[in-house]
């Protein structure tokens, strides 16, 4: 059995995507939390930045959105104002502007609306597992984790199933734009600035824009109410409708952010089952009490969004350091989620962990994940159905990680299963 442990020497280069190809450098984050919780990093590809690594600090700063602004970009990379305007979604706005878009889409992703998808998700999960578990040795990311969010995306968008592989491929090219397995235009190795006005600096953004535009026109023309997109196109109580630009940016966000995060949560959950065999028995016997809590623990373990960046609107002091107006500040959710001040045994999965104040959804701030109820439901249903069928599951070869310091994910997860 292969148990993954962090391999870094405690001083990993956080600016290097290659660092993360070896998995998240947790030894580095543990040291930073202990010794240097507000840590400056120089960067040869752009302006340097501060890293915030303790749970409590991120919680406090994240809610202080007037000082820690999202409205100059949310990734490490610098953007010109022109690029920012062309590429931004409502993720890259602050309240109250953020709220204007959020309230248009919040209902479609609310817990009660999302709960209506449960049976559909269960059917999809079983369809995926019938296929995947017909083999004993397989790549669990490809055969299971990638499939469910992709098929679910189709239900949300109300798009034909045959379009889905194309959409997911484009979504991957956007968000995994630093991994050559997912894009021909690797962000930190590009020699052109021709795509700089497109979402994620990627030509896939333009293709998704075009798809979204045609989809919106089609839905408007035919009164198509499949999926939840029609809810987003409805006028609000004052008669305001979403603009085409807002719609297409939101569409890109759904395809990119709503897809691989759940994929890598499922993959990390399966990884945990391989490393901690007792989890399978717990899933099989834990009942409702376990399933109320387990999805959040799996999502804590996964932490697919490694960090989001903010930009300071004024000088700010913390732990004896003065961060200056205009400085970039990274909130490392991946570090906060292993903070032993908040989590007992943070490097173990405890499916009954309660309370579980993980920050995988960016909790404690205005940008808390819009899709969190859907993510929790997908994770719960998939693991309920998977655990019912398994007698055992174990790692069966080397795990490979996404080459990205922004999205943490196991892109190859070879497993061997025995069925009940």
Binding site for other proteins (CB under 8 A): 59, 62-63, 65, 95-96, 98-99, 102-103, 106-107, 110-112, 236, 361, 363-368, 372
Question: Could you tell me the smallest distance in angstroms from the CB atom of residue 271 to other proteins?
Answer: 26
- Nearest distance, CB of residue 377 and other proteins, angstroms: 13
Q: Which residues contact 121 (CB under 8 A, 6 or more apart)?
A: 148, 152, 377, 378, 381, 382
User: Which residue lies nearer to other proteins by CB, 320 or 355?
Assistant: 355
In the complex with other proteins, the residue whose CB is nearer, 65 or 182, is: 65
Provide the minimum distance between the beta carbon of 140 and other proteins in the complex, in angstroms, as a whole number. 29
Pick 164 or 359: Cβ nearer other proteins: 359
Q: Looking at beta carbons only, is 20 or 332 nearer to other proteins?
A: 332
Q: Which helix (H) or strand (E) holds 412?
A: strand 410-412
Q: Where are the alpha helices (DSSP H) in 276-392?
A: 278-285, 287-302, 333-336, 372-389
Q: How far is the CB of 290 from other proteins (least distance, A)?
A: 17
Give the nearest distance from C-beta 240 to other proteins in angstroms. Answer: 11
Phi and psi torsions of 331, nearest 5°: -95, 110
Phi then psi for residue 418, to 5 deg, are -120, 140
Q: Would you call 328 helix, strand, or coil by DSSP?
A: strand
CB of 29 to other proteins, least distance (A): 22
Termini Cα distance of the chain: 20
Answer for the pair 294, 281: CB distance below 8 angstroms, yes or no: no
- Tokens representing 35 are 């010794």
CB of 58 to other proteins, least distance (A): 11
Looking at the chain, the number of H-run helices and the number of E-run strands are 17, 12
Token duo for residue 106 = 């919040």
Closer by beta carbon to other proteins, 124 or else 372: 372
- Nearest CB to other proteins, comparing residues 363 and 387: 363
Cα separation of 174 and 198, whole Å? 10
* 302 Cβ contact list (under 8 Å, min separation 6): 264, 265, 267, 268, 269, 360, 408
Phi, psi of 316 (to 5 degrees): -145, 130
Q: Which is nearer to other proteins, 90 or 200 (CB)?
A: 90
């Amino acid at each position: 059995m292969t148990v993954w442990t962090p391999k870094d020497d405690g001083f990993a280069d956080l600016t290097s995507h290659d660092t993360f190809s070896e998995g998240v450098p947790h030894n580095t984050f543990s040291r930073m939390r202990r010794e240097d919780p507000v840590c400056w990093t120089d960067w040869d590809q752009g302006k340097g930045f501060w890293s915030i690594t303790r749970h409590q600090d991120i919680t406090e700063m994240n809610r202080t959105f007037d000082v820690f602004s999202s409205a100059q970009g949310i990734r490490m990379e610098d953007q010109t104002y022109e690029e920012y305007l062309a590429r931004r979604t409502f993720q890259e706005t602050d309240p109250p502007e953020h709220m204007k878009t959020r309230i248009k889409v919040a209902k479609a992703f609310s817990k009660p609306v999302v709960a209506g998808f449960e049976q559909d998700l269960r059917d999809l999960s079983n369809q995926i597992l019938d296929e995947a578990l017909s083999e004993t040795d397989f790549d669990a990311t490809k055969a299971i984790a990638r499939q469910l969010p992709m098929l679910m995306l189709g239900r949300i968008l109300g798009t034909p199933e045959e379009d889905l592989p194309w959409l997911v491929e484009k979504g991957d090219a956007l968000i995994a734009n630093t991994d050559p397995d997912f894009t021909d235009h690797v962000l930190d190795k590009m020699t052109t600035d021709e795509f700089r006005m497109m979402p994620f600096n990627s030509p896939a953004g333009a293709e998704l824009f075009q798809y979204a535009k045609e989809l919106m026109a089609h839905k408007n023309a035919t009164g198509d109410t499949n999926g939840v997109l029609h809810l987003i196109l409805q006028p609000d109580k004052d008669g305001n409708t979403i603009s085409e630009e807002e719609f297409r940016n939101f569409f890109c966000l759904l395809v990119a952010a709503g897809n691989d995060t759940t994929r890598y949560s499922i993959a990390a959950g399966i990884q945990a089952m391989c490393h901690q065999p007792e989890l399978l028995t717990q899933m099989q016997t834990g009942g409702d009490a376990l399933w109320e809590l387990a999805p959040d623990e799996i999502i804590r373990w996964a932490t697919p969004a490694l960090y989001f960046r903010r930009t300071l609107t004024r000088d700010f002091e913390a732990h004896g350091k003065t961060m200056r107006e205009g400085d970039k500040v990274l909130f490392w959710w991946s570090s906060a989620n292993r903070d032993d001040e908040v989590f007992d045994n943070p490097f173990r999965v405890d499916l009954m962990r309660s309370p579980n104040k993980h920050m995988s959804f960016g909790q404690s701030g205005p940008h808390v994940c819009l899709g969190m109820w859907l993510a929790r439901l997908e994770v719960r249903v998939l693991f309920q159905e998977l655990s019912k069928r398994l007698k055992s599951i174990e790692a069966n070869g080397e795990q490979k990680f996404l080459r990205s310091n922004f999205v943490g994910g196991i892109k190859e997860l070879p497993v061997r299963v025995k069925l009940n």
